Chains A and B, each alone.
Chain A
Amino acid sequence: GENVGLHLPTLSVQEGDNSIINCAYSNSASDYFIWYKQESGKGPQFIIDIRSNMDKRQGQRVTVLLNKTVKHLSLQIAATQPGDSAVYFCADLSGSARQLTFGSGTQLTVLP
């Protein structure tokens, strides 16, 4: 079946640096992509989304980039803070049932 995967399972960055988390997807019919953040002991939390007719979307300290040519999605976090330490998931939406499929997650650790 189709899946959404991540290049790196773990990422460590210094506090204050920018973080980039990458994601590859395989379903060319996916038209909507979302990033979720899951802190330890909590459920995933919506961060930002992007539709397939866009290639960039910015939020507060976060930017999502979409490259449909190579089926690649990235999440950029500016000035990473300790509170950004979490597992980050990309997910895509496709099909008539509009089912959300999650990637395998990247553990982001912010170093002091």
Chain B
Amino acid sequence: DTAVSQTPKYLVTQMGNDKSIKCEQNLGHDTMYWYKQDSKKFLKIMFSYNNKELIINETVPNRFSPKSPDKAHLNLHINSLELGDSAVYFCASSQAGTYGKLFFGSGTQLSVL
């Protein structure tokens, strides 16, 4: 069973569209994250949620809105997509108190045309 699963794996869309990426973890973790990986493999945190509450919100355009309906899910909605949003987006989760040991999903490759 996949521990952290995100869908879709690939997302190709036009500029200006709105899209969502879903993430679910079955590890019973309290904390979930969204990371963005650019073409040079640099990983940067976007958001962190602990028990459905936002605890980290890095400098991310407000076109990006995370939603956590319960502690097992953290979805990412992106409005008015831009070319620069093209990247791989990773969802991750961690056990409470073990902030450094993250379990990552397999990523969503977003291509904005």
Contact = CB atoms under 8 A, between A and B. Distances in A.
Interface residues of B, number: 21
Interface of A: 32, 34, 38, 41-46, 49, 87, 89, 91, 93, 97-102, 104-105
Contact of A43 (B4, B56, B101): B4
B43 A97 contact: no
Contacts of A44: 43, 90, 102, 104
A105 B43 CA distance: 9
A46 B44 contact: no
A91 B92 CA distance: 15
B55 A97 contact: yes
Interface of B: 4, 40-45, 48, 55-56, 90, 92, 99-107
A98 to B, nearest CB: 4
A99 B41 contact: no
14 contacts: A34-B100, A42-B106, A42-B107, A43-B4, A43-B92, A46-B102, A49-B101, A91-B100, A99-B45, A99-B48, A99-B99, A100-B45, A100-B99, A105-B41
Nearest to A97: B56
B43 A49 contact: no
A43 B100 contact: no
A104 B55 CA distance: 24
A32 B100 contact: yes
A102 B45 CA distance: 9
Contacts of B105: 43
A34 B101 contact: yes
